[in-house]
A and B are shown apart, each in its own frame.
Chain A
């Protein structure tokens, strides 16, 4: 057995594309195998927990076993002096310097943002909140010493149920009360829409709490040389984290460098400024030594922010032919114990999407954020949009059932037609483009919709114990976060631009620096494709740097399906600036006017002649600087920011067929078809992979996953044995296809794909389950649709 040869692997990675694709073809649209893979496939990874420093110390946290309690005493002295223990601290030891964890989205005037100390000082408000820590020479000793810390708690009542939390006699999570904020949006005459409406569908849905569960647990390492600080973190947001660490700790921003090395998935869970990041930085400062903390999975299940957790009351008024008159949505959104980075903004990201792809004249949205003694919620793949899409797509099926229409027919009667774009919706968004008919027709053909309906009818007639259900989801979403102007209007604390720079190296190679921070999305590959086409340089001649604030000096990071739509376009804009500089230099060297030059295949050529200069020659000429135009700088390097004018609006049609065993309640997905329109596609392999993974997470919400707290506020799903992540055996092969309606809001025509699958798939699956059970009188099944829930729904309906 021999070690991998790095050079050979690099050749193998490069070779695979030579085999599969002809050279010279445009890069955009080409299924390039990823540049990132070689390292990841051979174990030469840079996960934060892989990293070390001389004299590295390990940190562990003692966490509250109580959902709500006053801390009356913390005695860490028992830990001091144990083998390997360097220090132990309680929250009180950091009370003067740890600040408060930030909320970056104060959504309303009336919002209550409670103080949120990284390590609890006087009161704990959820199980898992850190109360003390140990620093030791290895991770086992650091864990051992936690046992020797003595904490006395005076129990306070837990507040677990959102609805009970709002009753006047509920115990309070914070002195200010349990209401975090309330928001109301109204458009059109909702009263009139509901008055005398022939049909009103009135439903309440529960968006269960989820645990995002990126495969890489969180980890943080921090060190200082006495002057400046470096923090390595498994984060999606190194740039935002740097600013926030400066604000929280008072360490000047220019003295902090944040590095996101290889990051093993995020799905929103690493879009956060965490207690552990702040405390590791402060411990490095206090001790003058490098420290590292790596969470265990069970620690993570308790203390990585959770997702979803809403109760949605939806009322839809329609005419007798199924045309929608108006929609009313009332949300209760569980904030958990504190407001973290974008906690209160998550439900509002869906506020303008309940009306989805449908035309209607009136819309009313209300949302109340509620404090409970649970882990705070925050962004999880889709963040607000899956919840909204679920509610409307479930309700469209209920409307179809009420009217005896096919669920696709009721959608067709209401959706925006392709010749009506751009279209301003009742909630005020302007959808720039879309073609719902095309995506739906393609999906129905791939799915064999009519044939499956015939089989369904047959099974119903036969009284087959295994019934077939067909679920529909015709979704859109808003992503590419986002236009800074709109974010400002929504009271979001920062902008939504992105930054890219392009360095032309003397040998003609290209170094791209992006402000996005990939953690599985393949930006290195996709950005290389964009740059290769823009500058006419070989794909393999481009490298992409990211995730280190000392290298990528500006950025707004990766979340909200924004990276390609905003960051990819910023890189393209930087390329255009490089080309403008190169054009002037070429004109100077070729002794012609810049207007006489045409750019083709990486070279400027004097029109009608053979005289040309390649971009590589020009990079070298700029480097030597022997003969530059008057006043020109000795570089072609350029940078750019991009800030789109509008969100982008991917859409598509997802169809799911399930077989439901009515005797056991077991649900099995028989087939799943997704036709998505994510605009122009840079790399179809990467896009398909994102759709697959997105669908899997949405299916997981529909069928498998739920974070469960008991009445005392104890999390019961603390391990992967209790919190059911689907395995390969639990999921089918997904059939995917695309339609391509380019976005008009950015020059690449791209829309973003990171969240689409998750947004679309949950209602498709649950609609299918309910469709299977409808003849038995079942009109809803609460997620996750476990065998027990399905069986009980059948029993409850008195089958």
Chain B
């Protein structure tokens, strides 16, 4: 069984894994990182989105062995100094979650979207989040939250 070394939310793990083990199941079943949920089996819904070396991936579509040597950040590891990340706060402020199941993936995808486009239009947000499905919100407040998160992250960059 291959041995992998992977850092998840700042902690380094060494794990023997079956080659077929999905990253999301490594996170959930082996490492107890259940903040990242599974919503489908065809990589359509995006609920399982995490950061892999700084870019968003759907962790149901990545094998654990592919994450060998990588740095993974999940929704549980966002934020600094114990605080929520500005994007998490923006989702709270704008009521951008209801059941909350898509939320971890939606927040991760939104943060990744802002890396390429720090000040996205509504249309850019809608297209940028196309790979993340939500059944509760109708996306209106998610779009507002991403706009707000972008503004707050922009402010943070300017003042730092």
Where the two chains meet, the residues of A that have a C-beta atom closer than 8 Å to any C-beta of B are: 1-5, 7-9, 12-13, 16, 20, 33-34, 36-45, 47, 49-50, 138-140, 213-217, 262-265, 267, 296-298, 519-522, 685-686, 688-690, 692-697, 719-721, 725, 727-729, 731, 733-734, 757
Contact = CB atoms under 8 A, between A and B. Distances in A.
Contacts of A265: 98-99, 101, 135-136
Interface in B18-42: 18, 20-21, 25, 28-29, 33-42
Given A140-B20, A728-B139, 16 more contacts: A9-B84, A41-B84, A43-B33, A43-B75, A47-B34, A47-B37, A264-B37, A265-B136, A297-B39, A689-B137, A696-B137, A720-B40, A721-B42, A721-B44, A729-B127, A733-B140
Interface residues of B, number: 67
14 contacts: A1-B77, A5-B81, A8-B83, A9-B83, A12-B89, A41-B92, A45-B35, A45-B37, A50-B28, A264-B99, A296-B41, A520-B99, A688-B141, A725-B45
Nearest to B20: A140
Contact of A16 (B73, B89, B137): B89
Interface in B89-129: 89, 91-93, 95, 97-104, 107, 122, 125-127, 129
Contact of A214 (B20, B107, B135): B135
Contacts of A5: 81-83
Contacts of B56: none
For the complex of A and B, the 3 pairs showing the least CB-CB separation, nearest first, are: A43-B35, A5-B82, A40-B100
A720 B44 CA distance: 6
B138 A731 contact: yes
A409 to B, nearest CB: 30
B140 A734 contact: yes
A37 B34 contact: no
B133 A727 contact: yes
Contact of A12 (B78, B84, B138): B84
Report which residue of B77, B137, B139 has the largest number of chain A beta carbons within 10 angstroms of its beta carbon: B139
Contact of B10 (A2, A33, A45, A214): A2
Of B83, B95, B127, B129, the most chain A CB neighbours within 10 A belong to B95
A421 to B, nearest CB: 30
B100 A520 contact: yes
A16 B129 contact: no
A689 B28 contact: no
B138 A734 contact: yes
Contact of A520 (B39, B136, B141): B136
Nearest to B71: A1
Contacts of B138: 692-696, 731, 734, 757
B14 interface: no
A692 B142 CA distance: 11
A217 B39 contact: yes
A37 B76 CA distance: 14
Contacts of A522: 98
B132 interface: yes
A146 B81 CA distance: 47
A267 B136 CA distance: 9
A12 B40 contact: no
B9 interface: yes
B147 to A, nearest CB: 11
B75 A693 contact: no
A16 B93 contact: yes
B135 A215 contact: yes
A43 B76 contact: yes
A75 B158 CA distance: 68
Nearest to A720: B44
Contacts of A1: 9-10, 73, 77-78, 80
Nearest to B127: A729
Greatest chain B CB density within 10 A among A2, A262, A727 is at A727
B134 interface: yes
Contacts of A43: 33-36, 74-76, 104
B83 A267 contact: no
Contact of A519 (B29, B42, B99): B99
B35 to A, nearest CB: 2
A725 B130 CA distance: 11
Nearest to B139: A728
Contacts of B36: 43
Contacts of A695: 138
B92 A693 contact: no
Nearest to B8: A1
A265 B133 CA distance: 13
B133 A41 contact: no
B98 A689 contact: yes
- Please indicate which of the listed interface residues A215, A520, A693, A731 has the most CB atoms of chain B within 10 Å of its own CB: A215
A20 B94 CA distance: 12
B79 interface: yes
Contact of A728 (B78, B82, B107, B130): B130
A727 B129 contact: yes
Contact of A4 (B25, B79, B125, B130): B79
Contacts of A697: 135
B88 interface: yes
Instruction: Tell me which of A693, A697, A734 has the highest count of chain B C-beta atoms within 10 A of its own C-beta.
Output: A693
B31 to A, nearest CB: 12
B34 A50 contact: yes
Contact of A42 (B21, B88, B99, B101): B88
Given A4-B79, A265-B136, A719-B42, A138 B29 contact: yes
A474 to B, nearest CB: 21
A13 B10 contact: no
B45 A41 contact: no
B102 A215 contact: yes
Given A37-B91, A693-B138, A720 B42 contact: yes
A11 B88 CA distance: 14
Contact of A41 (B10, B100, B140): B100
B47 interface: yes
A263 B44 contact: no
A2 B101 contact: no
Given A41-B91, A42-B35, A47 B133 contact: no
A727 B130 contact: yes
A693 B100 contact: no
Contact of A521 (B75, B98, B135): B98
B100 A264 contact: yes
Contacts of B9: 1, 3
A139 B15 CA distance: 18
B34 A692 contact: no
Nearest to A724: B44
Contacts of A685: 95
B44 A719 contact: yes
Nearest to B136: A693
Contact of A729 (B40, B44, B99, B126): B126
A728 B136 contact: no
Nearest to A44: B35
A42 B75 contact: yes
Nearest to B101: A264
A727 B132 contact: yes
B6 interface: no
B46 to A, nearest CB: 9
A216 B97 CA distance: 14
Contacts of B83: 4-5, 8-9, 12
A189 to B, nearest CB: 44
Which of B78, B88, B100, B122 neighbours the largest number of chain A CB atoms within 10 Å of its CB? Answer: B100
A729 B129 CA distance: 8
**Interface core residue of A36, A719, A728 (most chain B CB under 10 Å):** A728
B143 interface: yes
Given A41-B92, A263-B99, A264-B99, A693 B41 contact: no
A348 to B, nearest CB: 26
Given A520-B100, A522-B98, A721-B42, A693 B74 contact: no
A696 B126 CA distance: 14
Contacts of A38: 84, 92
A499 B127 CA distance: 44
A725 B37 contact: no
